[in-house]
Amino acid sequence: MKKFFLGMENELLIIKKAPEGYAYFSCLEGKHPTCIVVDPQNENVIYCGTDKDGLLKSEDGGKSWENIGNKTSLEIESKTITALAINPFKKINGNSVIYVGTEPSMLYYSNDKGETWQEFTGIQSLPSKKSWSFPPRPTTHHVRFITTSYSNEDYLGVAIEAGAFIYTTNQGETWNDRPEDSPIDIHTLLTHPKSPKKLYAACGDGIYNKAHSYAESNDEGQSWQYKSSGLENHPYAYHLAISSNDPSDQIISAAKSPSAAHSIYKYSAVYRKQGEASWVDISEGLPENHSSNHHLAADPTDFGAFYAMNNYGIYHLASGASKWEKLELDWQEKYVNQRPSCFLIEED
């Protein structure tokens, strides 16, 4: 059965598909979840970053939570957690390595399930740091996305919003700074097991150059190619999902501008790209006039199917379908006026 994790403005919703419908409960009331990951070794262990309350961990599927970012002197300095990742391949003493990014841009890792943390201090001396700046708050910046590798357990690709893509191939001993012609405003950065050295990026760069809304790298970030044909009407790309079985089948959420992407009162679209074809608008069935930008996820078991989540609920695009269908959830009216912050699907 599928389990959906939805980060709303003031709580985390956990919705489970059941034979008779959907059952869900709310947790972390009063918090603002920003990112979430589940331990690949134990589905009951959940890590959730928040906007002002640091990093939280649950060991019982979300029923209870503990702040784990500042338990010892080896702590995460910022309480604003902006990115999370778990490396399913790299284990130390049997534990999967956890990575955390913050605002301002600092990057940490834990080898002991979050008991202690070490900082990747090397990113602070990268030459590009002087130009890192988040436009709504230009005096700061943050780690937007962290991705691990299917080919090298010591690889990390990191997107800084805004200003750089950086990467390491040796678990942070050294860092490679902003390769030539790389995107500087990556919002989503993905890899795929069937293309282990390839990176896929949904970018805000399209607002400055419409050819730069979507980018790929065939060598884990050393060089980049832009494949944005079809996104010209909505050049500001944000969320991205890739079919679980086919890395050439991708969907992306995009808007006309940053203000449209971050509003619940303007329009965002979803496009699909298959193979080397151009992006095609596949928004039929999604809210027609306005909604938050759509958080996207591929169905982990039904290949070719996708989900989109926004302030109106969760929508499903079945494999081979051309129209999204809204899931029949008990969606509360209060959520319509909220901008969701994160979305994750796990298979029990």
pTM here is 0.96
Q: For residue 184, what pLDDT is reported?
A: 97
Residues with Cβ within 8 Å of 147's Cβ and at least 6 positions away in sequence, in order, are 85, 156, 157, 158, 189, 190, 191, 199
Average pLDDT, the chain: 94
Tell me which residue of 62, 25, 23 sits closest to 328, measured CA to CA.
23
Taking the C-alpha atoms of 54, 60, 63 and 66 in order, what is their torsion angle to the nearest 10 degrees?
Answer: -30
pLDDT above 80 for 80: yes
Query: Got the DSSP string for 144-161?
Result: EEEE--SS-TT-EEEEEE
* 4-58: pLDDT as tens digits: 999 999 999 999 988 888 988 999 999 999 999 999 999 999 999 999 999 999 9
CB atoms under 10 Å from CB of 20, counted, come to 6
Residue 348: pLDDT band with limits 50, 70, 90? confident
pLDDT above 60 for 94: yes
pLDDT above 80 for 70: no
Tell me which residue of 87, 84, 89 sits closest to 97, measured CA to CA.
87
Question: Tokens 């958080």 appear where?
Answer: 295
Q: For residue 309, what pLDDT is reported?
A: 97
Which helix (H) or strand (E) segment holds residue 96: the answer is strand 95-102
**Domains in the chain, CATH or no CATH each:** 30-341 (2.130.10.10)
Q: For residue 88, what pLDDT is reported?
A: 85
pLDDT above 70 for 107: yes
pLDDT above 80 for 74: no
Q: Percentage of the chain surpassing pLDDT 70?
A: 99
Q: Are 89 and 72 in contact (CB under 8 A)?
A: no
Residue 334: pLDDT band with limits 50, 70, 90? very high
Q: Percentage of the chain surpassing pLDDT 90?
A: 87
Q: For residue 225, what pLDDT is reported?
A: 98
pLDDT above 60 for 72: no
Q: Are 111 and 65 in contact (CB under 8 A)?
A: no
Average pLDDT over residues 218-239: 97
β-pair type (66-67, 156-161): unpaired
* 192-206: pLDDT as tens digits: 999 999 999 999 999
Cα–chain-centroid distance for residue 11? 18
Q: For residue 128, what pLDDT is reported?
A: 97
Query: Got the DSSP string for 113-133?
Result: TTSS-EE-GGGGG-GGGGG--
* 141-178: pLDDT as tens digits: 999 999 999 999 999 999 999 999 999 999 999 999 99
Tell me which residue of 92, 124, 130 sits closest to 108, measured CA to CA.
124
Which helix (H) or strand (E) segment holds residue 261: the answer is helix 258-261
Neighbouring-strand partners of residue 62 = none
CB atoms under 10 Å from CB of 21, counted, come to 11
pLDDT above 70 for 73: no
Residue 71: pLDDT band with limits 50, 70, 90? low
Neighbouring-strand partners of residue 167 = 157, 176
